[in-house]
């Protein structure tokens, strides 16, 4: 018996791999079971503490084996090794793998960005040290021999602000032979321009007199605009979407309002699509060439300045105020709406002058298809400056209001402007404001009596009729009120103009 027992024990020991207990062998065998086998085994085994323990072990096997460092499973053959490896991969968290990959990608991206920034900085520094061809009197601004643009009497080069390492525009103007009084006046106004900071105004940094190739010139340093002007945009795309037109015109008006509310007011005097710049990253617009306009006014004090197509009649007589910028804005809006240069039908400046002073509108005015846009342009380019809309009037106009999803316009153009009843059309451009009675982009037409109706009451009626949510009532009322107020003002201006014509 002893011998049999010994042989049995010897046989069992010989079947075990060296250094692995029988208990560990059972664990190893369990680990080689497929998912299907485990599932069947769990189903066939009654619910007990042992079964729960087996399930918990199965789900946490990798963690347990890693914690028990002295437990080391050694697969007996290649098939077992494959199965064990596969099971280990199953237990690895997919979320962890993804997170690790994302972390690596993020680290790589940051490293690339940092390397790119560092390389760009070095390139700028090298360009500044090796290729700068001129510096400002204080040494802050550098000029590179990289021409960005050229005009009749100006050349623009790429420059650099060494305080911020931001590229700037270095503009050289031909010497205008200013007197000492004119030089002093220009310096004073240039100092004032340096302090102007507005999101819709191109920054003016500095100016000074210099000598280039033996000739005197004046240097202006401004913010660098690399995405072109409204003029280049219109040449490229021809048609401008109404939403873009509204947004850009609103920004131009905000810039003009900022200039006109300075003390003393700043008048641009040469506003046109050529000097309204587009910023690439944001798509916003900025009014530029302020320093240039100031210099031109100083150096051409006894002659006509500006661009004839955009000049108000009173500029020829040199008695003007901020309303000349409103006139020019109207011409800019006309060019934006038609992609046609105002008075392009004229052959020379003399023909333009005769039409402007006679109150004859550009031929392109009749090509404006949107009645609301046409009405605004007409309100800006009136021959009599007292009849023109003000910047404040325009900013309060429903057309230029911040996008509320609602817009009110005349459904029918007025013939005489004497009838108290108006035919209005309310456009609902934001579907979220509809209550379900209208399709997207379908207008609501209604009548409004300027003598008896109240915008708030009309808006409430629309809410009760199910056209709008009650929360939109105030916005609807404001849109109606703004439109009616503008119509009343336009009527008054026409009546004043008619009276003056009769007197003449």
Residues catalogued as catalytic: 289
Q: Return d(Cα 195, Cα 204) in angstroms, integer.
A: 8
CA-closest candidate to residue 17, choices 28, 8, 7: 28
Reading the block at residue 123, the tokens are 């390139």
How many CB atoms are located within 10 Å of the residue 303 CB?
A: 8
Q: Where are the beta strands (DSSP E) in 49-164?
A: 132-135, 141-150, 154-161
SS3 198: coil
Reading the block at residue 469, the tokens are 């949510």
Q: Are the C-beta atoms of 238 and 339 separated by less than 8 Å?
A: yes
Q: Are the C-beta atoms of 149 and 155 separated by less than 8 Å?
A: yes
Q: Return d(Cα 177, Cα 180) in angstroms, integer.
A: 10
Q: Are the C-beta atoms of 406 and 479 separated by less than 8 Å?
A: yes
Q: Which alpha helices (H) appear in 389-472, and where do they start and end?
A: 391-395, 455-464
Q: Return d(Cα 485, Cα 81) in angstroms, integer.
A: 85
For residue 3, which phi and psi values (nearest 5 degrees)? Answer: -65, -45
CA-closest candidate to residue 136, choices 231, 49, 220: 220
For residue 59, which phi and psi values (nearest 5 degrees)? Answer: -75, -25
Q: Are the C-beta atoms of 312 and 258 separated by less than 8 Å?
A: no
Q: Are the C-beta atoms of 196 and 189 separated by less than 8 Å?
A: no
């Amino acid at each position: 018996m002893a011998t049999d027992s010994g042989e049995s024990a010897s046989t069992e020991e010989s079947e075990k791999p060296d250094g692995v207990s029988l208990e560990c062998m059972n664990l190893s065998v369990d680990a080689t079971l497929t998912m299907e086998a485990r599932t069947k085994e769990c189903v066939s085994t009654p619910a007990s503490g042992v079964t729960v323990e087996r399930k918990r072990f199965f789900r946490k096997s990798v963690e347990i084996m890693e914690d028990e460092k002295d437990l080391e499973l050694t697969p007996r053959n290649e098939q077992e090794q494959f199965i064990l490896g596969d099971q280990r991969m199953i237990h690895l968290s997919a979320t962890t793998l993804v997170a690790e990959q994302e972390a690596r990608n993020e680290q790589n991206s940051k490293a690339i960005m940092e390397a790119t920034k560092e390389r760009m900085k070095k390139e700028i520094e090298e360009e500044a040290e090796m290729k700068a061809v001129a510096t400002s009197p204080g040494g802050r601004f550098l000029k590179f021999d990289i021409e960005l643009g050229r005009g009749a009497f100006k050349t623009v080069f790429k420059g650099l602000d060494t305080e911020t390492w931001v590229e700037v525009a270095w503009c050289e103007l031909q010497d205008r032979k200013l007197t000492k009084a004119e030089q002093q006046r220009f310096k004073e106004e240039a100092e004032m321009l340096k302090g102007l900071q507005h999101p819709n105004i191109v920054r003016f940094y500095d100016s000074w007199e210099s000598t280039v190739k033996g000739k005197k010139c004046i240097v202006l340093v401004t913010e660098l605009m690399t995405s072109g002007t409204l003029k280049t945009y219109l040449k490229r795309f021809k048609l401008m979407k109404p939403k873009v037109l509204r947004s850009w015109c609103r920004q131009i008006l905000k810039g003009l309002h900022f200039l006109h509310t300075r003390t003393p007011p700043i008048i641009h005097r040469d506003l046109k699509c050529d000097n309204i710049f587009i910023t690439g990253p944001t798509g916003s617009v900025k009014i530029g060439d302020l320093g240039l306009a100031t210099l031109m006014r100083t150096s051409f004090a006894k002659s006509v300045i500006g661009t004839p197509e955009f000049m108000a009649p009173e500029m020829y007589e040199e008695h003007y105020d901020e309303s000349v910028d409103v006139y020019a804005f109207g011409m800019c809006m006309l060019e934006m709406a038609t992609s046609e240069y105002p008075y392009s039908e004229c052959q020379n400046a003399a023909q333009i002058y005769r039409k402007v002073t006679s109150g004859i509108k550009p031929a392109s005015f009749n090509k404006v298809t949107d009645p609301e846009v046409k009405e605004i342009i007409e309100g800006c380019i009136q021959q009599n400056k007292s009849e023109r809309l003000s910047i404040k009037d325009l900013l309060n106009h429903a057309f230029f209001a911040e996008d509320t999803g609602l817009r009110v316009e005349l459904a029918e153009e007025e013939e005489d402007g004497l009838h108290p009843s108006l035919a209005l059309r309310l456009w609902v451009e934001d579907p979220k404001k509809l209550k379900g009675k209208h399709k997207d982009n379908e207008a609501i037409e209604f009548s409004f009596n300027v003598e008896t109706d109240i915008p708030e009451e009309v808006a409430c009626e629309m809410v009760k009729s199910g056209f709008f949510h009650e929360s939109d009532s105030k916005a609807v009322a404001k849109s109606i009120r703004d439109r009616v107020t503008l119509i009343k003002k336009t009527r008054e201006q026409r009546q004043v103009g008619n009276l003056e014509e009769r007197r003449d």
